[in-house]
Structure 1
Amino acid sequence: MQTRPTLVIGATGKTGSRVANILDQKGVPVRRGSRGAAIPFDWDKPETWAAALDSVSRAYVTYFPDIAVPGAVDKVEALAASAKSAGVERLVMLTGRGEHHARSGEEAVRASGVDYTLVRSAWFAQNFSEGYLRDPVLEGVLPMPGGNVLEPIIDIDDIADVAAAALTEDGHSSELYEVTGPRLMTFTQMAEELGRAIGRPIQHIPISFEDFRAGVAQAAGPDIADVFEAIARETLDGRNAHLTDGVERALGRKPRDFAEFAAKAARAGAWSRAA
């Protein structure tokens, strides 16, 4: 049993909150890394890093909103060096499939001298239930660029399970787990599955990358919109239209299907007006 705490960076975010909760359930001491935590962690304030890393055994590393943010790779490299100096035993880092910034961040962690596990993820299913696309789904539409590109969309619960395993178990050292869902889907097919789960039609509306940026800007602000537009332009070109076995290699089971995600989220009230 680990006695030193595990730092979860981004513990209030989609994946970090889930990872922290799983570690709690396993009885692993968790240090929740966020700006408002008792021991704060702030990517923009490196002076907070030493205290957050003090006495930490392992750390989950995720950069909000994405490692494609200008300067993020340099910060990840600096954090990895700080982790080595602090005696952290393993870094488990989440990145995105098909993003050149993500590859640079992965290389920074590999070169740090700290043991590592890399989790390279497909598009999040929860973007439709917890993120900037929830409101359009509530209105009965799924406005996305990329045409009929195929995406092996993944349930974040699978990502959290993989990360938690890498943080608490042996056998994950120096591994790269590229994680996807179990099938390739178009955004039209995703809209149809969401409609079945919610009980009313959801229509995929093909839009331009410029219109995609405008929608994200309205929901999350122009800076995040710039980053997400760049990621969409880079990755929604078919490069990620293949399945991988990362979830199965890490956990010994198949990943959850998108239909299972949608049904569970609907039951939990993800698309109720009061949510």
Structure 2
Amino acid sequence: MTSPILVIGATGKVGSRIVSRLEALGQPVRGASRKSSPSFDWEDQSTWAATLAGAETAFVAFVPDLAAKGAPEAIRKFTEIAKETGLKRLVLLSGRGEHNAQASEAIVQASGLDYTIVRASWFNQNFSEGVLLGSLLEGYVALPAHDRKEPFIDVDDIADVATAALIDERHNGQLYEVTGPRLLSFADAVAEINAASGLSAQYSHISLEEFHAALLPEVGAPTADFLHDLCAEVFDGRNESIGNGVQRALGREQRDFGDFVKRIAATGVWSAQA
């Protein structure tokens, strides 16, 4: 491989890990984000061609999420521009149980590009470096999730699968549904974090309306509306099953949530501000 592997979303949880893995393997890699040069912005199509120029393989993470209303049309336009600029293969990060995500997957599958789709469940790392960390440190996690269970997945597993797909053409045409090995409710997850870290956080179920109202002053209407709609869609039990994508792609078992909790607790992330 002579052209660099393009990683769109290189500063995100998954993208940053993919960049590190590719660099460690000695693979040529070029990260793209709003802060890169050239910059890449999903809301500005004029930035796409310059970022894609010279790349034959790309990892694609859509912002804010493929569940967003405009995602399928953006992915359709992106694949058209990607083909025009010479891209041949892409690895798409997708979301489990999301209608617009699956519509976006279908667009990629019909694009004429070689592809691998990595369809992921909720990230373990949302508790340690994502949207739930702040409230967790304040002693609570409040979501409209009832007692639904999720097969939380370690982002390192997602990055391992995506990296393998980027450098090995044997993964072409595959859809990997990647999850963790266990189903846990958010209350279960918080309890495991408490036991390992010494925190005493509580999980509370709140209504979708309460969730939206709490988000509005923090993130604004567009993001609050999106998160409201996403939770309304996926917290209905549709994701209460275990996928085998990690095993199929890598030939090993998934990382367990308990191992993630022990590892992160040892770093002090959950005690530094407690």
TM bucket (normalised to shorter chain) is over 0.9
Q: Tell whether the 8 Å contact from 2:140 to 2:201 is kept in structure 1 after alignment.
A: yes
The aligned counterpart of 2:201 is 202
The aligned counterpart of 2:65 is 66
- In structure 1, what is the Cα distance between the partners aligned to 2:270 and 2:15? 22
Q: CA deviation at 1:127?
A: 1.2
Q: CA deviation at 1:57?
A: 2.0
- The 5 Å alignment of 1:130-145 reads 130-145=129-144
Q: Tell whether the 8 Å contact from 1:162 to 1:251 is kept in structure 2 after alignment.
A: yes
- In structure 2, what is the Cα distance between the partners aligned to 1:25 and 1:259? 27
- In structure 2, what is the Cα distance between the partners aligned to 1:267 and 1:211? 34
The aligned counterpart of 1:28 is 27
- The 5 Å alignment of 1:55-204 reads 55-204=54-203
The aligned counterpart of 1:253 is 252
- In structure 2, what is the Cα distance between the partners aligned to 1:211 and 1:263? 32
Q: CA deviation at 1:219?
A: 4.2
The alignment partner of 1:116 has SS state of strand
Q: Tell whether the 8 Å contact from 1:66 to 1:227 is kept in structure 2 after alignment.
A: no
Query: Cα deviation per residue 1:180-199 (whole Å; 9 max; x = unaligned)?
Result: 10001111111111101212
- In structure 1, what is the Cα distance between the partners aligned to 2:217 and 2:244? 36
Q: Tell whether the 8 Å contact from 2:8 to 2:33 is kept in structure 1 after alignment.
A: yes
Query: Cα deviation per residue 1:207-246 (whole Å; 9 max; x = unaligned)?
Result: 1122223344444333222111111111111111010100
- The 5 Å alignment of 1:222-241 reads 222-241=221-240
- In structure 2, what is the Cα distance between the partners aligned to 1:267 and 1:250? 29
The aligned counterpart of 1:15 is 14
- In structure 2, what is the Cα distance between the partners aligned to 1:170 and 1:36? 30
Q: CA deviation at 1:77?
A: 0.9
Could you state the TM-score of these two structures normalised by the residue count of structure 2? 0.95
Runs of 4+ in 1 over 3 A off after TM superposition: 214-221, 272-275
The aligned counterpart of 2:269 is 270
- In structure 2, what is the Cα distance between the partners aligned to 1:141 and 1:9? 33
Q: What letter matches 2:160 in structure 1?
A: D
Q: Tell whether the 8 Å contact from 1:50 to 1:86 is kept in structure 2 after alignment.
A: yes
- In structure 1, what is the Cα distance between the partners aligned to 2:148 and 2:22? 36
- In structure 2, what is the Cα distance between the partners aligned to 1:85 and 1:268? 45
Q: Tell whether the 8 Å contact from 2:199 to 2:270 is kept in structure 1 after alignment.
A: no
Return 5+ residue gaps in structure 2 as ranges.
none
Query: Cα deviation per residue 1:37-95 (whole Å; 9 max; x = unaligned)?
Result: 12211111211111111110211111111123232211111111111122212110011
Q: Tell whether the 8 Å contact from 1:132 to 1:220 is kept in structure 2 after alignment.
A: no
The alignment partner of 2:150 has SS state of coil
The aligned counterpart of 2:219 is 220
- In structure 2, what is the Cα distance between the partners aligned to 1:140 and 1:152? 23
The alignment partner of 1:55 has SS state of coil
Q: Tell whether the 8 Å contact from 1:97 to 1:240 is kept in structure 2 after alignment.
A: yes
Q: What letter matches 1:185 in structure 2?
A: L
Alignment size in residue pairs: 274
The alignment partner of 1:171 has SS state of helix
Q: Tell whether the 8 Å contact from 1:132 to 1:219 is kept in structure 2 after alignment.
A: no
- What do you get for the CA RMSD once the two structures are aligned? 1.6
The alignment partner of 1:119 has SS state of strand
- In structure 2, what is the Cα distance between the partners aligned to 1:273 and 1:64? 29
- In structure 1, what is the Cα distance between the partners aligned to 2:265 and 2:111? 42
- In structure 1, what is the Cα distance between the partners aligned to 2:60 and 2:54? 16
- In structure 1, what is the Cα distance between the partners aligned to 2:220 and 2:257? 28
- In structure 1, what is the Cα distance between the partners aligned to 2:23 and 2:214? 36
- In structure 1, what is the Cα distance between the partners aligned to 2:161 and 2:41? 24
